[in-house]
Amino acid sequence: MFGMRLITPQSGPQGKTVSRVLVEESLPIAQEVYLGAAIDRKQGKVVVLGSSEGGVEIEEVSARSPEKIQKLTVDSGCGFTYFQGRKLAIDMGLQGGIIGKGAAVAFALFRAFLDCDCSLAEINPLGLTARGELIALDAKMNIDDNALYRHPELQALRDIEQEDPRDVEATKLNLNYINLTGNIGCIVNGAGLGMASLDLLKYYGGEAANFLDAGAGATQDMIRNALGLLRSDPKVKGIFINMFGGITRCDSYAQGVVDALRERPLAIPLVVRMEGTNVELGRKILEESGLNIITFKSMREAAQRIIELVKEKK
């Protein structure tokens, strides 16, 4: 039994309304360790990681004391064995009868990693209580979005009240959107082209406000929706559209941009660079639209120009 006084705040971090409160028992912790599972992209295998230093970001431990991180590669044929679990528990600093418990927790985390289609699963910290119990004091799981259709029970846990409204809207519009900290909005079609666009902006002294991939088969409606999403972000002071006409032709992209701006004019600079099928027709549609759209053939020149325009508006 313990007493508790609950104070309900009006809003939480980043101005988000608090809709749920989790109450946990206060425990006497004797030791904190780290336990995680991730994908090693170079090996193409799952690795289980452990460290005697829990409660801090594993990246910090890796930079400061890499020898304190133990990594076990899981063989796809044998899976994660109990022997590996015991070895990892010992390397994490667990002793005596707790070693077996640590191995069991490591095995359970590995099974959860596979069963939930995770790209990352970690318990940090994993606490050892004064009573000799191992308790997950905090945990994190990153689940592959492409596998969520297999896990309706996980999708049901989503709390959109705690998400950025633009993230929620992007999901509804079927746009791959990641909010960033800069002031130049980006619309691309293809992850590789998107990363190249962000790199160029950074190289020439700009900062991207987002990553937004409309997809290789982006329709005119998707371009219109993407522009509307960026327009709603107050930190966006200019927009850079970088498109390759393949599955969808450049003239279709161009018409989507023109239609969107005619429906609702844009008060911030817009630079468009496109290449690919029907590119000349696409540029012609943009240039003859009578709208304030700046076009470039060169991706470098386009990136440099939008950076200049945004800086001029400051």
Catalytic residue status for 149: no
- Choose among 77, 70, 123, 128: nearest CA to 99: 128
CA distance 272 to 156: 39
- Choose among 198, 203, 241, 246: nearest CA to 223: 241
CB 230 within 8 A of CB 212: yes
- Which residues on adjacent β-strands are paired with residue 245? 276
Q: Which amino acid is at 98?
A: I
Neighbour-count burial for 195-208, b at 16+ CB within 10 Å, e otherwise: eebbebbeeeebeb
CB 124 within 8 A of CB 139: yes
Two tokens, residue 194: 């998107």
Residue 247 per-residue DSSP state? S
Q: Which of the following is catalytic: 34, 53, 177, 253? A: 34
Residue 74 per-residue DSSP state? P
Q: What's the sign of the alpha-carbon dihedral 299, 305, 309, 314?
A: positive
Task: Name the E strands within 235-269.
Answer: 238-245
**Which helix (H) or strand (E) covers residue 276, if one does?**
strand 270-276
- Choose among 93, 87, 83, 21: nearest CA to 51: 93
Two tokens, residue 253: 């992209």
Q: Which of the following is catalytic: 32, 53, 122, 177? A: 122
Catalytic residue status for 177: no
CA distance 309 to 293: 12
Q: Which residues contact 181 (CB under 8 A, 6 or more apart)?
A: 207, 209
Two tokens, residue 314: 């400051």
Q: Which positions are annotated as active-site residues?
A: 34, 122
